[in-house]
Amino acid sequence: MKLLEDKILKEGKVLNGDVLKVDGFLNHRLDVALLSELGKDIAETQKDCGANLILTVESSGIAIAFAAAEFMKLPVLVAKKNKSSNISDGVYSSPVFSYTHQTQNNVVVSKEYLGKGDKVLVVDDFLASGNAAIGLLSLIEQAGATAVGFVAAIEKEYQGGRALIEKKGVPVYSLARIVKMNAGEIVFD
């Protein structure tokens, strides 16, 4: 999506060779008008996916998921991150390792809000190694629900997450797909 690619080229910063800092518009300061446009694009590209629910994970997935949900007229389920190893009976839980923070979290949703028969579109801000994505797909599997698609605003294709998701039979769509990145350049697919 050209609008997002242009914004990344204009305002994104590549740190330490591999971290794309987009906190001026995507996940710290939110460019709400831009995010609405991203939501509209998601709604258009996913209009035939059959989802009755969008699943995302706190906290940087919430805004993009919400923007898509408004156009798709769907509710959003926000998976919580939880450091505790005490998991209550009332939730589905899956471990996720964060390379950025070098920490292990659980992603958790209440069983009350995800169940058999749900058709779930997963929406997140980033797709890189796919760790978070696989954790979210596991929640859907545990609930006996179906993942109908995975959408990321920005994909770092070379980190391999897409392949892991597609291997589970879940289609992947990203609005900006980075195939190569370093301090001097960002190359899109």
Three-state secondary-structure class, residue 67? helix
Shortest distance, position 39 Cβ to a copy of itself, whole Å: 10
Owner of token pair 């156009």: 71
Choice between 60 and 174, CB closer to a copy of itself: 60
Distance, in Å, from the CA atom of 164 to the CA atom of 120, rounded to the nearest integer, reads 18
Neighbours of 82 (CB within 10 A): 15
Q: Cβ neighbours of residue 76 under 8 Å, at least 6 residues apart?
A: 53, 54, 55, 56, 62, 65, 66, 69
Minimum CB–partner distance for residue 158 and a copy of itself (Å): 28
Residue nearer to a copy of itself on the CB measure, 78 or 164: 78
CB of 57 to a copy of itself, least distance (A): 9
Q: Which residues contact a copy of itself (rule: CB under 8 A)? A: 23-24, 27-33, 35-36, 58-59, 62-63, 66-67, 69-70, 73-78, 80, 109-110, 112-113
In the complex with a copy of itself, which residue's Cβ is closer, 77 or 186?
77
